[in-house]
Structures are given as structure tokens and as C-alpha cells.
Chains A and B, each alone.
Chain A
Amino acid sequence: MPDTTADPKPHHLLHRVVIRFAGDSGDGMQLTGDRFTTTSALLGNDLATFPDFPAEIRAPAGTLAGVSAFQVHISDHDISTPGDSPNVLVAMNPAALKANLSILPKGATIIVNVDAFDERSLAKADYETNPLEDGSLSAYTVYEVPMTSITTEVSKGAGVKPRDAERSKNFFALGLISWLYTRPIEDTIDWIEERYAGKPLVMEANLRAFKAGYHFGETAELFESSYEVKPAVQKHGEYVNITGNTAVAWGLIAASVRSGLPLFLGTYPITPASDILHELSKHKQFDVRTFQAEDEISGIGAALGAAFGGSLGVTTTSGPGLDLKSETMGLAISLELPLLIIDVQRGGPSTGLPTKTEQADLLHAMYGRHGESPLPIVAAKTPSHCFEATLEAVRLAVKYRTPVILLSDGYLANGTEPWRLPDMDDLPSIEPDFATEPNHTDAEGNEVFWPYVRDEQTLARPWAPPGVAGLEHRIGGLEKADGSGNVSYDGGNHETMTRLRAAKIAGIALDIPPTDLDAEDGAEVLVIGWGSTYGAIAAGVERIRARGHKVDQAHLVHLNPFPADLGEVLGRYRRVLVPEVNTGQLSRLLRAEYLVDAISFTQVEGIPFRAAAMEAAILCQIESAAGSTTGPGGNGSAPSTGKATDR
């Protein structure tokens, strides 16, 4: 085992670094990135990750279509994005180099597996000449490392076939980068031993490759120095590194524990939501039932049936599945039963970009059902925030007896960040408050149960799962008479019920926190977002403030209803900028609701915003506001849609 303290090479401190591991889909880049991340998290760095992989499970090896990448940003201070552009690219083959070169800033470091730059692989990546030889990489610092040959060499004598030995080269890369950034290696060694305990040959090959990579950095006359990123100053507490999908799954279990409602997940596999099913299916000791249905419709139907029976009914999906669930959501709105629909958004329309992120389902969540059918919408803003957002969505669903849509997205689902574990006592209490007795006296003086008698304050109806004598009742999708719940085709009653359903949802505005505003005196520009743009907006705002300008940031977790003070907040600013990874959906809602000239700043490239683009967009608004004489909420001169700024 190498003694890291005796490193003879010079050692430099860095505040932050962005590393991108890129290779073929079969090269194990996600695993490599994930291990590097875990080690960095245990070391105490703040971090954010961005797994970026193709929809194909294994596109033809060595082609551009098959490139899979994992980007990690580690830092000694608080960060909120996986980084605009990598400082270091690890490219396992020519395709990985080619696919990622455009996002590398000049001067960046490229570490290539030089063994993979043979004629055949270059051709597969559409290189006419070898970029390592033709001078096209002269603006970068390039390290050519024979990863495949060293990995194969060190495995000799371990009993592995050369073809299999070669597959450990990702661990060589991990070892090398671990040395370069002074990561402890013991955790990874333990991890390899545990993970491959059942396959001793593979374990041995991986261990040898990992250690060889580490030693190579130390001893080869290639790297002049190593680097270190010190731990970030973090609040006292226990931390884990968590993905959004895991945070959702744990949030559901927490909601079940807090409410005492058994959890039922009805779902159908779909990227990028399936990991929620995978995670929940492991934890049956929490009285969790996971049901892999025959289709998306059955998934939500079964969840609704479970909710009728007094369980916490949940369904998870992504865009195409959300389309299919619309009718059942309408039924749940009519039945007024608690139900959670989790939409992990991906690029659309149709099959779209299954593995790429987008936040273009907001208007669908808001309006994607026939008839007047409002429901609350909650959106998570970071991977770890998915936990809290899930609990909040369940709280609203149970308290208001309504389906709730929770919006996550592909970036949150697979991205990670350190999460300070909450104190169990700080988790919200969720009271199912089942009906226990009749609630109405009929004309003959009998005590009866009416399923649509509402709570005066919340307008919620009683939740009366089967099993209680005297509360037998029938509900359905036909319009119901106010109070009794009997079928009613009366026009006046329909008007009453339509407005009651709407008022119930609108009233939630009084039960949620005011607008989450990061404000400073004198700012004339507000940047307001929702969902996973939080990190990029925060990074952009930070850059603007570092330049000495003033800008405020608001981020919406509740999208229906909006916080009660939102209109007043928006009215305070000369400019309201709305960045979204869609073509302007929140901006439309804000304009419609508050008559505010919300300026849309959008991109739909399947990736999160970059902080630099955000900075430029905000700067443009600050300059425009300064040059404008119109008052708060006035008409701006900047273009209202599209890529308003150069990015």
C-alpha cells in the first residue's frame, strides 16, 4: 500500500476542481466517477455530480454514440453545480475525447488512455488523423497514459484472462486520479474487496489495476505534482452523499413512518424514475409494498386503490407515463383521495431524450387533464432536497385529500450531493385523521356518513377507508352532490363542486411558507426559478454579486398554488428573469397569474444550465434595468424568450 505522506513530488492546494471521466458505455465510467465521489465525500469536500450517459445500454463499442461520462465537482467551499467545464478530462478512448472536447476550456488537462488510440478506434470516432499527433490538442495539457497495457501487465499471474484483465482499466484510471488529487485509497480498496467478494479473480484484477494507477502517478516521470482539495467547512452533523432518486425513496419511507400509513408504490419501469422502485423494493421491512404493474395506468390505478384502502398510495414515472396517468389523476381529483404522482422529467416530446434532463412537464402537471382539475404541484430543487420535497408532497396529499404531483428530473435523479441528515424530530408530522364516525344527520334524524362533508378550514373531505361499520359509502368519477356525495347531474351543484375543488387547492397557499427569497437591499433584478435550476441560478447569482452587482434569487418549491406573497414579491423588481430548461413554462404561469413582464431565459439541450450562461443572462438584465426608466414591474426592453444572452 503506498505511503501517501512520503510523496516526493510537489503538492499544490486547489479550492475546487471539476473532473470528467469519459469512456465507452461498457468501460465502467459511472462506477469510476461514483467511487471518486464517495471518497471525496468521505474526505469532507463539498461536491456535485452529473452522470451523463446515452439511452442505449451498449451502443457499438468505441463510437461517439456510446460515450458515457461522469462529471464531478469537488470543492473546499460550498458549491451548487457540477461545474460548467471540466478542468480535467479522463478519456478512455478517442470517441470519449471527441465527444467531450467542445466543453473543455483551453488549458484544461486531458488524460488519455493512449493504448486506445489505434487506427481502428480513431476511425470509429471519425478521426481522420490522430489528435494526439496532429497538434489539434496543443491548447491543452495532455498526458498519454498506457492504461490498457499496464492494467493487463499487472494482472499477469492473477489468473485472469487477458481479455478480462483489460476490463479493469477503469480502476487504473481511478487510482491515477486518486493519486493526482490526493484521495485516500483505503476506502476504495475495502469497497473493491467487498463488492467483488464473490468473484476473487475480478477482485484481484481490479485491486491490482487500482493500485497500479496510483503508483503510476507517483512514480512515472509524467506528472510534476499532485493536488489537494481540502475539506469544505460544513455544518456539524452526519452526512451522506445521495442521489435524487434515493432521496425520493427514503422520503417516501419517512413519510410512511411519520404518518403510520403503509406505503404502496404502483409503478411501471421507466427511465429515469426506475431507481425509486429499485430502492423501495429493497426495504420491505418498512411494510413497503412495491407493485410493478402491467402498464403506467395500472401503476397509478393500483396506487389509487391502495389509497382508497388507507395506504399511502404512490406512483412514479417520467413524461410518457405521466401522459398515460392523466385520466386516473382526474379520477383521484374527483374522489378527493390522497395520492402522490412523482414525475422524474426527461427530454420530450414522446420518447424524446430518455437519459437527458429537462423541466418541460410543468404545464402538463398544471393543466394536463380534461375538465377543471387542479392539483398541488411540488418541485424538488437539489438531489438531497428530493427528501424534503417528497415529505411535503405527502403532507399536502394527506391533509387535503388530493393527488399531488412531485416534479423531479433526470439531473436531480442521478446527480448527487452531500446531505446533512435531518433530525428525526424535525420531520413533519403527517396525520391521516381517518373518519371514525357518522358526520351528518339525515332528514329522518338518522346519524349517517356523508363522504363529501368538508372540513371548514381546509375544505378537505373525510378519508374513510373500508372496514369501519356505519361509514359505508360509494364514490366515483361522476359528479357528486355537495355533501352527500351521491351522483348529481345538477348544473348548479357542478358549479359549486368545481369551485370547491379549486378553492381547496388554492387555499393551500396559506399553509406553505412565503416565497424563499435570497435578497439584498437595492436589487432591481430578481431571478426566479423552480426545480433543478436552483444550483445554476445560485452559482450565477454568486458570480454577479462577486462582481459587485445586486441581484435577488427566489426559488419556488410550490408551483401550485404559488406562495401567497409571490405577486407582491415580483412587483418589487424592475426585472424578473425566469431561467428554465424548457421553452418558458413558469414564465407563462407568472405572466398569467400576476401580469408581470417575466423575462424567459431558456435552454433545452438535455443538460443543466451552466453558471457562466446564467451570469451573462443576469448581467444583461442588470444592465438593462439600469438603463431603463420604467418602474417596478414595468416593461423591459430585453427579448422575452429564447436565448436572450450569449452563452
Chain B
Amino acid sequence: MTDLANAENTGVPVMLTTRKDWSSDQEVRWCPGCGDYSVLSAVQMLMPDLGVRRESTVFLSGIGCAARFPYYMNTYGMHSIHGRAPAIATGLATTRPDLDVWVVTGDGDSLSIGGNHLIHALRRNVNLTILLFNNQIYGLTKGQYSPTSEMAKVTKSTPFGSLEQPFNPLSLALGAEAGFVARTHDMDRKHMMETFRRAHDHNGASFVEIYQNCNVFNDGAFEGITGKDHRADMLIRLVHGEPIRFGAEGEHGVVNHRDGSVEVVEVADVGESALLVHDEHRENPGLAFQLSRLSRGPHEPTPIGVLRDVERPEYGAQMAAQIEDATARRGPGDLRALLRSGSSWTVE
């Protein structure tokens, strides 16, 4: 693989690019007004700033509306099968550490049919940037409830209301030992770009939940928190090292109680010094887990930004290290010697 690997180390400077260079010639076919458009724009606008090469960038997806994403990026890409993108990406990323591997998925794709692959990719800490488009509905199959749909949701497949407790994607990722966990939303390009940049720069598996509006089957699911009139009071921007506070005047805040729970309070009531100071790098994921559950759904003040950013050994690098170690100890593989490694005998 000498001709392919380490493309970034060849010394050739990365060409300056624009958004256009990262856009493929394929016509984008999402429904007009879909939140996916703004996520695509954010990614295409971010790429020129990342200092990476198109030929060393790969977008992989499973099945669902968001999974069309790779077709629209002028990079290498694969539109695979339902739920399996993290598994396929694991094989690619561990064998090609020189590549930037992005996984684009949705709430059905990787919290339902592909749940197993998602949690294990996070646990292993494979070097992937995972963007989970959460619209709380099955769009491509035209409107059934998803694993993130709220209880009692009436959909085509649940005319009497759904009976299922939804997943909290951030809690799930934290429980799966993810080292980088963040949330953003499709109404704020700048926040998306900044969050994606952080996720990309993180070494190991990074997980970003994107609140994304499906204007056909679940319109307005996040309007109550992402709408321009609600954002100030409903979105809690997490900033590392700063007290967690929000509101037009910063009048609301979050405190951490002695029992470990977190709660939204009025700063005036508790005083600024009582507010929880956000620490992304805290080794123990307990507090990040509490923050991930501060809101019970997109109708209460909800944290966005990076909840957790902790370095752990990356899977592919560890695999490569074992190979280097074995080669250093035994010398490079010798096929002739391998075939004679058992008891061999010679017939004259």
C-alpha cells in the first residue's frame, strides 16, 4: 500500500479549495426545505478550512435520507446498506490511517438497525467522525416513528401512539465509552461548522448528534428550541471552562447538585459562583451523562456543543502498533519460513 498510504505525508502542499471543489456534480434530491441541505452546506463550507485533501477524505453512509450525503461530496464515498456504515468504516479506517473517514447516519440507521455497530465503533474508538442526523422520524420510508421519537407519537405505523421510550443519543454514546460527544442543530450553520471541526480534529471516534428538521413527516420537531425566538432561552451553549449559563441576558444557568444531578436555575437565585463550570475533558463521563439528560426532549432547555472531549488510544493505531511490534521482534513475514513453522520432514 506504499503508493496509497500516507498520502498526507508526501510533502505536497494541500491546495487551497473552495466549497465548489467539495461539491459533486450530482443534483441534490432531498425534499425542498429539508434540514439536510443546511448540514450539507455546513460540511461543504467547512472542508476548505480543515486543511485536508479531497482524495484523502471519505464519506460513508448507510440507508435513509441523510445517507445520500456521500453522493453530493466530491470526495471518495460509499452509500452502503442499512445500519452498517460504522462497521464498513471500521475496516476502512483501521487499514487506512491516512484517510479522514466520515460516517453520515440517521436515527433509524444507527440507533435502530445499526445500533450494535454504532456502540462498538465508539467503544473501540475507531478514528471516525460520525454525524447522526436526528429527525426523530423515518423519512425515507415515509413517516414511521423512530427510536428517538417521543412517547405516544402518532405516525403511520402508530395510529394510536407509540409505546416506546426513546433513546437519548448522547447518553447512549457516552454509555458506549465515546471519547467525543457533541450536539448541534441544522438552524445554526456556524455552530454546526465549529462542532464538526472539533469532531474532525478529535483523534478517535467522535459522535455528533444533529437536530435536523424533516419538514415533510415531522415538521417543527425542534422548533420549540431551535426557532429564532426560542433559542436564547432554550439552547444551552456549552463552552469549555466557562460557567454554564444561557438566556438573552445570561439569566439562566445550570448547577450541579451534591447528588450528582444537574438542574436549570435562575442565576439571580443562586449567584454566578454556584454555576457549574463546563469541563469537556473530565475523565469521568458522569457529569457529561447528567448534562445529556438535562432536557427530556426538544421542548426544554437543551445543551448544545461539546459535552465530552477526552483522548483515548485509537483502535487503528493500536492495531498498527501491534504489527510494528511483531515485525520488530520477528522480522518481516517470511512465507517460506511460515510454511515450515510446524514439524516438517523431507522426502529425498
Contact surface of A with B, Cβ cutoff 8 Å: 38, 41-42, 44, 187, 234-242, 250, 253-254, 257, 261-262, 264, 266, 283-289, 291, 293-295, 297-298, 301-311, 313, 327-328, 330-331, 335, 421, 424, 434, 465-478, 486-487
Give the residues in chain B near A424, CB-CB below 8 Å.
335-336
A467 and B54 contact, CB distance less than 8 A: no
Residue B322 is within 8 A (CB to CB) of chain A in the complex: yes
Measured CB to CB, the closest approach of chain A to B241, in angstroms, equals 36
For B70-89 the 0/1 string (1 means CB < 8 A from A) is: 11011111111100100111
B116 and A306 contact, CB distance less than 8 A: no
Of the candidates B80, B84, B89, B326, which one forms a contact with A285 in the assembled complex, judged by CB atoms under 8 Å apart? B326
Q: Assuming A250-B339, A254-B335, A472-B55, what are 20 further A-B pairs, CB within 8 angstroms?
A: A239-B346, A240-B342, A250-B338, A287-B323, A288-B323, A293-B87, A294-B87, A295-B116, A302-B87, A305-B89, A306-B94, A306-B95, A310-B1, A311-B91, A313-B91, A331-B81, A466-B58, A467-B7, A472-B76, A477-B79
Of the candidates A38, A241, A285, which one forms a contact with B323 in the assembled complex, judged by CB atoms under 8 Å apart? A285
Contact surface of B with A, Cβ cutoff 8 Å: 1, 3-5, 7, 24, 26, 53-58, 60, 70-71, 73-81, 84, 87-96, 98-99, 116-117, 120, 319, 322-323, 325-327, 329-333, 335-336, 338-340, 342-348
A486 and B26 contact, CB distance less than 8 A: yes
B54 and A469 contact, CB distance less than 8 A: yes
Expressed in whole angstroms, the Cα–Cα distance for A238 and B336 within the complex equals 11
Give the residues in chain B near A304, CB-CB below 8 Å.
88, 91
A301 and B95 contact, CB distance less than 8 A: no
Measured CB to CB, the closest approach of chain A to B67, in angstroms, equals 9
B323 and A335 contact, CB distance less than 8 A: no
Of the candidates B24, B84, B99, B343, which one forms a contact with A301 in the assembled complex, judged by CB atoms under 8 Å apart? B84
Expressed in whole angstroms, the Cα–Cα distance for A297 and B95 within the complex equals 18
Measured CB to CB, the closest approach of chain B to A40, in angstroms, equals 11
B84 and A328 contact, CB distance less than 8 A: yes
Interface centre among A284, A466, A487 (most CB of B within 10 A): A466
Minimal Cβ-Cβ distance residue in B for A418 = B345
Measured CB to CB, the closest approach of chain B to A390, in angstroms, equals 13
Measured CB to CB, the closest approach of chain A to B83, in angstroms, equals 8
A284 and B4 contact, CB distance less than 8 A: no
Measured CB to CB, the closest approach of chain A to B274, in angstroms, equals 43
Give the residues in chain A near B53, CB-CB below 8 Å.
469
Expressed in whole angstroms, the Cα–Cα distance for A266 and B327 within the complex equals 21
Expressed in whole angstroms, the Cα–Cα distance for A297 and B1 within the complex equals 26
A302 and B342 contact, CB distance less than 8 A: no
Expressed in whole angstroms, the Cα–Cα distance for A590 and B184 within the complex equals 59
Of the candidates A253, A289, A301, which one forms a contact with B88 in the assembled complex, judged by CB atoms under 8 Å apart? A301
Give the residues in chain B near A476, CB-CB below 8 Å.
70-71, 77-80
B81 and A327 contact, CB distance less than 8 A: yes
Minimal Cβ-Cβ distance residue in B for A302 = B91
Measured CB to CB, the closest approach of chain A to B341, in angstroms, equals 9
Main secondary structure of the interface of A (DSSP, over half): mixed
Give the residues in chain A near B347, CB-CB below 8 Å.
44, 234-239
B331 and A285 contact, CB distance less than 8 A: yes
Give the residues in chain A near B331, CB-CB below 8 Å.
285
A475 and B98 contact, CB distance less than 8 A: no
Measured CB to CB, the closest approach of chain A to B117, in angstroms, equals 6
Measured CB to CB, the closest approach of chain A to B141, in angstroms, equals 15
Give the residues in chain A near B333, CB-CB below 8 Å.
253, 257, 283, 285-288
Assuming A238-B346, A466-B96, A467-B4, is B117 touching A301 (CB within 8 A)? yes
Measured CB to CB, the closest approach of chain A to B16, in angstroms, equals 14
Measured CB to CB, the closest approach of chain A to B183, in angstroms, equals 25
B78 and A335 contact, CB distance less than 8 A: yes
Give the residues in chain A near B344, CB-CB below 8 Å.
238-240, 421
Minimal Cβ-Cβ distance residue in A for B83 = A297
Assuming A240-B342, A486-B26, is B87 touching A297 (CB within 8 A)? yes
Listed A/B pairs (18) with beta-carbon separation below 8 Å: A237-B347, A238-B346, A253-B333, A291-B90, A295-B116, A298-B87, A301-B91, A305-B93, A306-B95, A310-B4, A311-B1, A328-B81, A466-B57, A467-B7, A472-B74, A473-B77, A476-B78, A476-B80
Minimal Cβ-Cβ distance residue in B for A300 = B87
Expressed in whole angstroms, the Cα–Cα distance for A303 and B342 within the complex equals 29
Minimal Cβ-Cβ distance residue in B for A191 = B343
Give the residues in chain B near A297, CB-CB below 8 Å.
84, 87, 117
Assuming A234-B347, A289-B95, is B339 touching A473 (CB within 8 A)? no
Expressed in whole angstroms, the Cα–Cα distance for A531 and B87 within the complex equals 32
Minimal Cβ-Cβ distance residue in A for B344 = A240
Give the residues in chain B near A306, CB-CB below 8 Å.
91-92, 94-95
Expressed in whole angstroms, the Cα–Cα distance for A32 and B95 within the complex equals 41
A298 and B117 contact, CB distance less than 8 A: yes
B87 and A466 contact, CB distance less than 8 A: no
Expressed in whole angstroms, the Cα–Cα distance for A528 and B11 within the complex equals 59
Assuming A242-B342, A331-B80, is B88 touching A466 (CB within 8 A)? no
